[in-house]
Amino acid sequence: MKQVLVLNGPNLAQLGSREPDVYGTQTFDDLVETCRLTGRTLDLHVEVRQTDDEAEMIAWVQEAVAARTPVVLNPAAFTHYSYALRDALAMCTAPLVEVHMTNPARREEFRHTSVVAGVADGTVAGFGLMSYQLALQAIAELTAVRAAGGQDSAEAAPAPAGG
């Protein structure tokens, strides 16, 4: 089984009680269970972590970099301003997928910018806990493609006109 880290930033331990009209009523324990069950179906060993501390998050990313461990990352508030986290993520050579439960583009303007998106393989947002399931599916696929020495599908396809 391939090891995958699912890293979660500030306030995500408060799921279920934090703004249930925005984030729903599912708890952080529900998120952990969803990730572990999804991982098992994809032959991934998933370890879920959460921190409100930027330095701890960066240390976890550096740990993943050193071990070439794929990462699903919900940077939460760090998404919008943590250049230190972005710089640590830029060192990742294993698959990295940014994930958000809500769609930041449909929320307050300050949430529209992600400083980490440019160093991630992709972003999944707006589907609640299903965002994590989709991100883990992407990690499994990217890991398999890279292990086979192939090109990621996004790299293999020509860039769309104007995009």
Angle 28-41/130-147 helices, nearest 10 degrees?
30
DSSP class of 111? G
Separation in Å, CA 89 to CA 27, 69, 104, 116, 138: 27, 12, 20, 7, 17
> Cβ(71)–Cβ(3) under 8 Å?
no
Instruction: Verify whether residue 23 is a known catalytic residue.
Output: yes
Instruction: Verify whether residue 45 is a known catalytic residue.
Output: no
> Cβ(35)–Cβ(140) under 8 Å?
no
**Identified catalytic residue from 45, 80, 81, 100:** 100
Catalytic residue IDs: 23, 100
